[in-house]
Amino acid sequence: MANIANTQDTPLKYTIKQMVQQLPYGGRGMVIMRMADETGNHENHIRRMWNYSLDSEHEIKMEDLIVFAKILNVSVGELIHEDLREEMVERYSSWKAMLEQQ
C-alpha cells in the first residue's frame, strides 16, 4: 500500500479534498455520501482516493472523476493537480471521444 496515504508535506494528485473542505461543515458529509452513492464506492474509499499523493501510481477512474466534477460543479481538469492536469485532461478527452464513437 505504498504511496496511497498522503502526508501533509506531499502534494495531492487531486484537488477534491480541498474543494470539499471549502464547503460548509454540514454539507461536506452530504457531498461525500452523494459521491459514494453515485459512484458505487464506500465513503471511506472516496476519502482514500482524494488522498492519493502526487507520486502515487493509483488513479481515480475517469467515470468517478466525471461524477465528482458534476457534484462539485467544476470541470474534470479542476479536480487534477496542475502538474498532471494537461496529461490527464488529454487522456480524458481521448476517452470521451472513444465513447462517443461507440
Q: 25 is in which domain, residue-wise?
A: 16-101
CATH label of the domain that carries residue 44: 1.10.260
pLDDT exceeds cutoff 70 at 16: yes
Q: Is residue 7 part of a domain?
A: no
pLDDT, mean of residues 7-27? 87
Q: Nine-digit cell at 97?
A: 471521444
pLDDT exceeds cutoff 80 at 40: yes
Alpha carbons 38 and 74: distance in angstroms, whole number: 16
Give the residue with greater pLDDT, 40 vs 2: 40
pTM, full prediction: 0.76
Q: Which one, of 30, 10, 40, 44, lies nearest residue 72 by Cα?
A: 30
Q: Is residue 53 part of a domain?
A: yes
Q: Is residue 5 part of a domain?
A: no
For 2, 15, 37, 66, the CA distances from 30, given in Å and listed in that order, are 30, 18, 10, 18
Q: Is residue 3 part of a domain?
A: no
46's CB contacts (< 8 A; 6+ apart) are 32, 35, 36, 39
Residue reference for cell 495531492: 12
Q: Is residue 94 part of a domain?
A: yes
What pLDDT was estimated at residue 95?
Answer: 63
Position 102 confidence tier, pLDDT thresholds 50, 70, 90? low
